[in-house]
Structure 1
């Protein structure tokens, strides 16, 4: 017999919500300017910020925000939404967790919580609390997210969908039923900014989509499927049409490799004139010494013909501690105010 939850203990542990930083409320330009005159990671961040501002100033440049890791849960969620809201990015490539378990999850009205203490993880499990380092998620709320994904899948025509298409449906759902204005998924739908998750089912969405298929199969009905090849084709199509591109990358892994590989894919399709990504910034704590592809430097990526070696910067730092500075600096310099909206999402309509 399962023991009942200790609701008082659970409420105690989930008593302090994570507050997402607002880059519009502080001007980081003076500190970033000062850091440019320093050395080590400070100077790297200063140069990375300059490169991002170059992307914003280049009238031909389409900018992709590339997210891996848990910075959205840790307090950068509104930061990313602000970049999209103010036309400072033109596309997003991310892990499924960043989009579903974090952004869509909060769009439904749920929260992430600061861990005031880190008790035994078996205790957390007994209370149905999931842990990301020093951040908590209520598993019962996360299951609501799973069921909402199931609801969306059940409402769709049973055919193949790219992750971009399905995430657009999630954005539409939040417009009609959401509880949070500053959701990246919702804003992407409203501004025609495409979001791609090349490993989409490696997230809370996976549970809802599996149940959708199992339920439909048991009932002898057709079901929707995700088409990973369509993801690659669609993103490569945007790269070909965009020409000049810049990458603002948080972490590494599949999203980083996926966006970089569009250059090679375009060449395979016969577009020998496709440009490598002209600008690239990567903020990561990954160590390159083990040879792992996800932690490869941007210089290494240049050997594959993916990025330009001239306008790139690695910043080896925890992204939650430096992204607010970079984003606030770019926001307050205001180069986004005269940018043309790309609306790449509308190109598939």
Structure 2
């Protein structure tokens, strides 16, 4: 039981790291597309390319670790999620393939054709929308089990307010997180034109982010009242801290200062909300069919997996920090001098 909790914490950390890093990547692609369409690409696309070139290849490493880990630690989850998420996961995989392929065309071709950039930008919104289906389904009410047969109730899923609120939250979160980082990056690069545009986008997406988060909570009360009650009764303080971080980050950006701290607060904002949601959901991985203590593998395998994934986390995070330090945050590289 102890290893089950350690395992889910480590996996949740992997997923959170993926959400932050991938959101910056996904949102940057959409902003590049928007700038191209509105004839503002000369303002920001060079800045976006300088960020994406060193790090886009490592974005999915955290997701792969999470996916392998959830199947390794909790085999029962693979039985249910593997069946009901076959179509959404396949769509996400196809979109990731398209995104990776067209990234090469868009960045290494002779010019940035709109068709290539459109595929690159739009997939950055469709991927999180399709992956968000997993969180929706995990709240229960969408899986039909008759004996050994497991099916997804597509009608219920498509008509559910909670389902659509999670999808919109995923998309808006991508744009919010990405614009927050790129605002800081443009300020660090001393690129005033890009900074003004990206700061506007960060301030623009802040209020919708807050509104859709509130709507997710309200719709969760209808979808899974037990989870909602636990969240607002036992872990309300985590969501309050998330709101405080959001407010301070917005104030820093309005005052045009401390953009690095503003983005750190964005990370903490998302972290408090994400872990508050995850902790309040326990012990269920898929309500009410898969519980944390029943789905975990035997102790020996759990110990081996826990050690492996902790070592993986300790290797990946310093490697990412080193990559950012050597390239993304190198003063001459940021300012486009090399």
TM-score bracket for this pair, using the shorter chain length: under 0.3
TM score, norm. by length of structure 2? 0.27
* Structure with greater helix share of residues: 2
* Structure with greater strand share of residues: 1
